[in-house]
Structure formats: C-alpha cells, structure tokens
Amino acid sequence: MKQKIFRLFADLRFSIFILLLISFCSITGTIIEQDQSIETYKMNYPLTNPVFGFLTWDRIIQFGLDHVYKTWWFFALIFLFGISLISCTFLQQLPSLKIARRCQFFRTTGQFYRLKISTLLNNFSLNKILLRIKENQYSIFQQKNIIYCYKGLIGRIAPIIVHFSMILILLGTIIGSLFGFKAQEIVPKTEIFHIQNILNNGQLTIVPQTSARINDFWITYTKNKTVSQFYSDLSILDNQGHEINRKTISVNYPLICNNVYYYQTDWNLIGLRFQNFNKEIIEYPLINIFKNQSKLWLTWVSNNSSFTDGIITIIDNLEGYCSIYNENGQFLGNIELNETVNFNISLTLLEIISSTGLQIKIDPGIPMIYLGFFFLMLSTLISYITYSQIWIIQKTQQIFIGGNTNRAVFEFELEFFKFIK
C-alpha cells in the first residue's frame, strides 16, 4: 500500500496536476490584491455586484484569498508537490541513473538492429576503433569479445538537480512566508524610530526590537527639474542608543543589518520652519492637496495669532525654495532658505522639514530561493551534455558495432563514422 501511494506521488500526471493548481492559486493571488484592509475588499468586491458573478469580499475573507500565499491549503499544495518531486527522484531518477552506470553489455548480435545507428565491419582492427573511442573521452568496459562504452553520464544527473532546485525554491517560499515580514515607516529627518507599521508578516515572524535614526535626507534633481534620486543617511542603534551601523541608502541600494533590509522607497514634506523678528521659531505644517497622488504641498503662514492675515506657501521640491501667494491667489514670488519675507511682520525661512519613506523587510527564504535558481540554471547547462553509448561484439573477423544517444543525433552520427572510417 505504501509503495502504491509513493508511486502515485511519483507519477508525472499527478505532479503536473498539483503544479497547475499551484499556478492557478498564484494567478488568483496576483489578480486579487493581497494583505489589504477589509474596507478595501468591501469597496472593490461588493455583495450587490459580485466580480465575475461570484467573487465577493466575504468569500475572499472566508477562503483566505486576501493572503493566498500564507494559507494552509497553499502550503499543503506546496507540500504535496515537494513529496511528488522527492518520490520521483528516489523511485525513478536515481534508479535510472544507477542503471545508466551499469555495464550494459550486448550478448547477441540481434540487439544491434534496435539501435539508431549500427553497422558490420569486416577485416577491421578492433584496437584502432577502441583507440579512437578512447580519444573521444569514452569510458570503456570489456568482457572477452564484448565491449561497452559510454560518455556524458553527468548529463543524466540534470533531472535530479532540477528536482533538488525546485525543492529548495519551495522551501525558501515557505520559510519566507512563515518567518518574513514587511513594514513601512515615514520618518522625519533627525528622528529616531522603531519598527511599528507592519504591513504583513508570517505566522512565526519575530519582529526585531531595533531602533534607527534618520541623520539626513536629501534629493538630487536632473537638469529638467525632475527627481534623479533621493537619499537617506541612516544609522542603526543598539539598546543603549549607540550606533552599530551607518549607511547612506537610496533606491535599489539598501542598508542590510542583521538580515534586516532597509530600503529607500518614498519621501514627504511635513512642515516649514520660520523665525520671526523676536527670534522665535515657528513651524507650519504642510498639507498634500492631492492626497499623496502628486508631490505638491501648501500651508497658511500667518503674521498674527488669530491666523486671519497671512500668505499661502506652496512647495513641490526640496531645492531650497517655495512659492508664496497672497490671500487672493496672486503670485508674490519665491522665498529661499535663510531669506526674509516682509508682510506686516518679517519672517525668515529657516528649514524645509522633510521625511523619508522606508520599507523594512526580512525574508529568510531569499538565500535558499537564490540557491535553488542557481542549481536550476546549472541543471540547464548540464542537460546539454550528451549521453552516448557504443556497443561492440567481435566474432572472428567481423565486428558488430552500434551506438545510441539521447540528443544531438547528427553530431553522434558524425562521431560514429569517424570511429569506423
């Protein structure tokens, strides 16, 4: 009974069926937004107007379609596919490799007629043929008048490496889903922060209790005044507040500390800092008028405590200036850092307060996934190695010779004809 069960798992049709199910679930997880709030699903998949006629938000929550890659049934499919690969490796691939390593001598001349290429030689030197075969890197085995030769046995290992690499990729996926997490933090410049805004995490995730400080943040621009790159000078602190790591990160160049990745993802402006004639520091908050869809902020800068009189300040960059307008929307000019504007009272622009957007994540399965893809590429190269076999039987003055190969048949035929030339 156990043997029948494992034979079922090792069946190619079963493996393809499970793989199709995994592909279908992955497509579903791609179409349906993952790890969103319930309100998002209620708005996009209402009960009154089901998507595709059946997909509503309550069914999405019920079947875990909002986090497909972390559900028990997705893990079960991956487990079944892994069992199928392991069963196929031990019940089919390894025995096939073991058979290929054996000396498969032909005992009768009738067996040559089943080969792809064979011939009969008269009055021909067997030693010359064996010398040419040896020069072509064949392994030669002989029992009296029968000879067996092969080369390229390593090419038969490629399917086993494919199975091994796929198992590594599956294990890496499961480990990443169970132990990984992703967080998003918007931190003002010079502030210290902890990892708090967790976007998604696995069932066994342990969020590191580390703190970090944004030492500085700046943006570089192109000649066309478009954003070229934005940078954050980031320090990682220990429990006593001492710096243990520091790096200037930018998009695609993260800081890595204790397997935690800190990516630069976004930026924001949160306020303007002024100084009045009394040397008092006043801060005014900036509001994104397009609700984060566009980088454009404004604020109302007042010259009295009742906020009835003042100017409108608009800013869309970090180049060190902002535009000012009066109450009627009339453009008054630009004010730069350390420049003073006078309207009833004088105000000096001291600083444009910015914040940086960081994505913080841990995915312990990534190294295993990379290793799996490395072996997958390696198996592709190995699979190009041709496995060729040659059989020889000598009877009196006649030599029966034939061969077979699993690929590159034309090249093998040319090689074979050189042996008997």
Rounded to whole angstroms, the Cα distance separating 86 from 89 reads 5
The confidence score (pLDDT) of residue 302 equals: 78
* Residue 368 and residue 172 in contact, taking contact as beta carbons nearer than 8 Å: yes
CB 265 within 8 A of CB 275: no
Distance CA 419, CA 360 (A): 63
Q: How many helices (H) and strands (E) does the chain have?
A: 10, 21
Rounded CA-CA distance 18/76 in Å is 10
Q: Are 137 and 154 in contact (CB under 8 A)?
A: no
* CA–CA gap between residue 361 and residue 162 (Å, rounded): 29
Asked if 46 and 59 count as a contact pair (C-beta separation under 8 A), the reply is no
CB atoms closer than 10 angstroms to residue 136: 13
User: Which residues partner with 185 through β-bridges?
Assistant: 358
Ordered per-residue pLDDT tens for the chain, 421 residues: 667 777 888 888 888 999 999 999 999 988 888 888 888 888 888 888 888 888 888 889 888 888 888 888 999 999 999 899 888 888 888 888 777 777 788 888 888 888 888 888 888 888 888 999 999 989 899 888 899 999 988 888 888 899 999 999 999 988 988 898 999 999 998 899 999 888 888 888 888 888 999 999 998 888 887 888 889 999 999 888 889 999 999 988 999 998 899 999 988 888 898 888 788 888 889 988 776 567 889 898 876 665 667 888 999 888 888 898 888 888 888 888 888 887 767 888 888 888 999 999 999 999 999 999 999 999 999 988 888 999 999 887 889 999 998 888 898 999 888 888 7
Are the C-beta atoms of 178 and 203 separated by less than 8 Å?
A: yes
Measured CA to CA, the distance from residue 302 to residue 341 in angstroms comes to 12
Residue 123: both structure tokens together:
């009055």
Cβ atoms of 217 and 354 within 8 Å: the answer is: yes
- How far, in Å, CA of 197 to CA of 190, rounded? 19
**Contacts of residue 80, Cβ cutoff 8 Å, sequence gap at least 6:** 9, 18
- Three-class SS of residue 1? coil
Residue type, 44: N
Query: What one-character DSSP code corresponds to residue 29?
Result: H
Distances in Å between the Cα of 210 and the Cα atoms of 157, 206, 237 are: 46, 12, 7
**For residue 90, what are its two tokens?**
């031990």
Pull the structure tokens for residue 104: 């498969």
Say what the pLDDT of residue 419 is. 86
pLDDT of residue 293: 61
What distance in Å separates the CA atoms of residue 32 and residue 75, rounded to the nearest whole number? 18
3-state helix, strand, coil in the chain (%, to 5): 35, 35, 30
How large is the C-alpha radius of gyration of the chain?
35
Sign of CA dihedral 363, 368, 373, 374: positive
Please report, for the chain, the start and end positions of each structural domain, with discontinuous segments joined by +: 2-96, 112-152+386-419, 165-267+357-364, 269-353
Greatest CA separation for the chain: 121
Tokens of 373: 């893809």
The model carries a pTM of: 0.71
Query: What architecture (CATH level 2) is domain 112-152+386-419?
Result: 2-Layer Sandwich (3.30)
What is the Cα 265 distance to its own chain's centre? 17
